[in-house]
Amino acid sequence: MLHSVIKTVLDLVLPRTCPGCGAPVPWCANCASTLSARPRRVLVPESSAISLPPVYAFARYRGPVRAAVLAGKEKGRRDLPALLGESLGLGVLRLLSISVLTTPLWLVPAPSRAWAARARGGDPVTAMAVAAASILSRHGSNVGVAPCLSTSRAARDSVGLDAASRVRNLRGRIICDVRACPPPGAAVVLVDDVFTTGATSAIASEALAQFQLSVQAILVLATAAPFS
């Protein structure tokens, strides 16, 4: 609790700088421009362990975008997910305009561990999704946010695991809370910050399918995999 209070006070007193270049603004226009205005299709690695809907991203996971994601997740920059979420919202608008997505639509944040979200003062991906929905609302699109997924403590850290091992690690350990779910049959976009092997997205999609929810697309800020 004391750490949280101190962090809040420091946030108010100390100036925030751009995580990409150090400019005296929270997220400068030059670094923000490394996020493409239009999400691009990701080339999903071939794996018999993974079946995914289309994946779209705005940038490769490097440079200013990587710095911004890490600052939001690991360095307490709770303002950044909302700023990054604006790009997600514009990306959804683009996908709606070319009929990749349909409405009514729900954004479902990728699962997080409850203890990690508490330590960070909230879940960054959920904050991104809420900011995206706000952008969409301003453009006349009524899009809901359903933070219904979580990862159980039984799942171990996935660093160093390949796609198949990550799937085995996560299967049955991504939980969907029916009380927070979109209505059955709703169109869903799974939202995340980074796409790596696709294991989390695949198991999250399986968890949603148990409640008659079909993931139309996966939308991420950045991808470790190449674009198609």
Identify the band that residue 8 occupies on the pLDDT scale cut at 50, 70 and 90.
Answer: low
pLDDT at 154: 74
Q: Model confidence over 216-227: pLDDT tens digits? A: 999 999 999 999
More confident residue, 119 or 175: 175
What beta strand segments (E) does 42-146 contain? Answer: 55-60, 105-109, 143-145
More confident residue, 50 or 49: 50
Mean pLDDT value across residues 107-125: 77
Q: Which of 122, 96, 128, 94 is nearest to 109 (CA)?
A: 128
What separation in angstroms does the CA of 74 have from each of 64, 123, 206?
15, 11, 28
pLDDT at 37: 86
pLDDT over threshold 60, residue 33 = yes
If you average pLDDT over every residue of the chain, what do you get?
Answer: 88
pLDDT over threshold 70, residue 115 = no
- Note the Cα 149 to chain centre separation in Å: 12
pLDDT at 153: 76
Calpha distance 42→218 (Å, rounded)? 10
Enter the pTM of the model: 0.89
Mean pLDDT value across residues 76-90: 93
Domain residue ranges of the chain, discontinuous segments joined by +: 31-223
What separation in angstroms does the CA of 9 have from each of 3, 25, 71, 81, 199?
10, 18, 18, 19, 38
What beta strand segments (E) does 90-213 contain? Answer: 105-109, 143-145, 149-151, 174-176, 187-195
More confident residue, 94 or 8: 94
Q: Model confidence over 133-191: pLDDT tens digits? A: 999 999 999 899 999 999 987 777 777 777 788 888 888 899 999 999 999 989 999 99
Find the range with the poorest average confidence among 2-11, 131-140, 193-202.
2-11
pLDDT at 2: 47
pLDDT over threshold 60, residue 89 = yes
pLDDT over threshold 60, residue 95 = yes
Percent of the chain with pLDDT over 90: 68
Q: What architecture does CATH give domain 31-223?
A: 3-Layer(aba) Sandwich (3.40)
Mean pLDDT value across residues 36-44: 93
Calpha distance 8→101 (Å, rounded)? 38
